[in-house]
Structure 1
Amino acid sequence: MSQQINLFNPAFEKQKQVLTAAGMAQALGLILLLSGALVWYGAHQVYVLERAAADSKVMLAAREARRADVLTRFPTPQKDPLIARALGQAEADRAALFEAQTILQGGELGNTQGYADYFRAFAHARVNGLWLTGASIVGAGKEIGLQGRTVQPDLVPQYIRALSRESVLQGKSFARLDMAAAQIPAPMLAAPVAPSGATAAAVAAPSLRFIEFSLQSSAAPVVGAAGAVKE
């Protein structure tokens, strides 16, 4: 005797999904609801942006009105040609002063302190029986020349030693010394009164003999101008 056993279970059979009209209506309603929400949100954002743009236009118009009012009450002053010319001249003067200051600080002009100290030194180092007839200074004391006269030749070395003790002449030396005998011509001196009964030829005209000297700090030619200063 045989017995059949049915192992088929209907629960395991693939079920067919049937879309009903009610389900479709619900899905369509949900789609429409979401679309409406998106449209409303977009319209709201557009409205907010339009309001912001309108407010910005109002603020800009107000600022432009205030600016126009300020320009009307306080107009921009026009440039005065006289002031502009004076300003240009002042700038040119300022540039010239700076250029002059640069030149002075750079030492391009040589001695910018003057020569009074040199002449004071020449006068302070005096020796009785010796006198100067001329002096020349080139640049910042680089070249110094002295011309003078003395009644005794040995007074010249004494004067040179006196000059060496002056502070402004420290470190300077004389490389050339010229000396020559000279005398003042007789007509330049007052002639003595002739004794009673003597002829003029019997009285000899006096004359003064002396030594002319020239001191130069280098072997340059002697400059004869008294008190000359060269840059």
Structure 2
Amino acid sequence: MPQQINLSNPIFLVQKRYFSATTMARALGVFLLLGGLLSAYWSWALVALNTGYQQSVASSQREIERLQAAIQARRAATGPADAAAVQELEARKTELQQRELLLRELKRGLLRDGQGHAARLQLLARSIPPQAWITEVKADDLRLELSGYTLEPAALNGWVARLADSPLLEGQQLSLVKVERVKPEAVPAGSAATPAVTGPLWSYTLVTAWNPPASTGGKP
């Protein structure tokens, strides 16, 4: 005797998986932990970089003093200064100004409360929308790059706006380099940093970069 099967019965439907609050909490927890570890490393790296720049600035200052003394001695002995020496002096002065400017920025990030990479990572953790998560962080003294995924591209616009309003990123260029749709199965899953999801998914890259203003050399 033929039997009828109700295909609308829930047991025959494909079960959907949703991005649970627990999974999001785990992802955020892992990000905060990684942020703390990266903050400690960056603090050490910035101290070393700051020391190196201080030594470089001191060396440039000594070189400028030597060139100035040589130019003055040549003027006193033979008249007009050597053009090559003057040109080298100008180049050294420009280089010194650029290094001093960068050194001031490094000190600002190291010594002022609430500044530097540690504070920026905390800002990212506080402001990131629940529809997005971060999978990679790259940073140096002038650039911070984030890569990750989002369930809603529109959520990134609000995130960028909140970051741009923060005093921590004042004077820096903030931009979304690219946002493109990807297949969920192409994304590594199963970890807190990249939870298993189904449905539309987009990858993104967010960059904040500091560009020091151009310096002009002074006259000897």
TM-score relative to the length of structure 2? 0.38
Larger radius of gyration: 1
Q: Which has the higher helix share?
A: 2
Q: Name which structure has the greater RCO, CA cutoff 8 Å, separation 6+.
A: 2
